[in-house]
Every structure is written in structure tokens, then in C-alpha cells.
Amino acid sequence: MDRSGYRGWRVRGIDEEEPAKKVALPGDATPERSGPRRRCVACRASVSTGDLLRIAWPVGAAGPAVGRTLSGRGAWIHPEPTCVGALCPGDLSRAFRRKVTRSQMADLLIGLAAIVGADSVELPDRRPAEDG
């Protein structure tokens, strides 16, 4: 290998296009480059929380609502019509560990639709609910 003209290992400022080799770290080592990551309840992609909307069901509330500062068990979803439209009551029931009724789901979807700018988000009318 000819190293005579070699200056440094890599040029800073250029994004690495190839996936960086990641050393297998224990689960508690959180990559801090883009903050914590969460899984979208609709498409199940794991992304930075900055790219997701938080849904929470505060204790005593009538149902789940969108809000990053709400207390309670939370779920995360992409602020995109595809993910909002794909959301199932079963997904939320699992996330909140309690039954999400269709009317609660409808209220939540209305709020989500307003945020993502979707005029019509299909309500989960006859979708098979995953109870369990």
C-alpha cells in the first residue's frame, strides 16, 4: 500500500453515504446524534422523536390526544396522512394498554388530520379490530 501522499483518513464535512459501521453496543447506549428514537405505531418505523407526533392519554382524560407535553403513556406516529390513515384502534389499545373505542379513535383522528393537513382521514369503520 502506498501511503506516501496520504493525508488523513477522511474529509470532514462530507456526509458518509455508506452506512457507517456501527459497533454493537449494549441496549442502554443511546445514540445521541438525533435524540431518542421511537417507533411509529402505524408503520412501526423507528425514527427520531423529532420526526414524530406524540399521542398520549393523560389520566382522567376522555381519550387519547396529540401533545408532546401530555402526561401519561404515550404513542408516536408520523405526521403524515399515510400513517395517520393506517392507524388502527388495536395499535393504540396496545400502546395505551387500554381499550380505545371507536369514538375516541375518531376524536383523535380528527385532531391528527388537522395537524397533518389531511382533509379526509378514513375512520376505522369496519376494519378488523385487533382485540387482544
Q: How far is the CB of 74 from Zn ion (least distance, A)?
A: 15
Q: Considering only the stretches 14-22, 27-35, 56-64, 75-83, report the one whose residues sit in contact with Zn ion under the rule CB under 5 A.
A: 75-83
Query: Shortest CA distance to 66 belongs to which of 76, 75, 56, 58?
Result: 56
Select the residue interacting with Zn ion from 42, 55, 56, 105 (CB under 5 A): 42
What sign does the dihedral 31-47-91-130 (CA atoms) show?
Answer: negative
Binding of residue 38 to Zn ion (CB under 5 A): no
Binding of residue 53 to Zn ion (CB under 5 A): no
Q: Considering only the stretches 26-34, 35-43, 91-99, 118-126, report the one whose residues sit in contact with Zn ion under the rule CB under 5 A.
A: 35-43
Q: Closest-CB residue for Zn ion?
A: 40
String of b and e for 93-116 (b: at least 16 CB within 10 Å)?
A: bebbeeebeeebbbebbebbbeeb
Binding of residue 55 to Zn ion (CB under 5 A): no
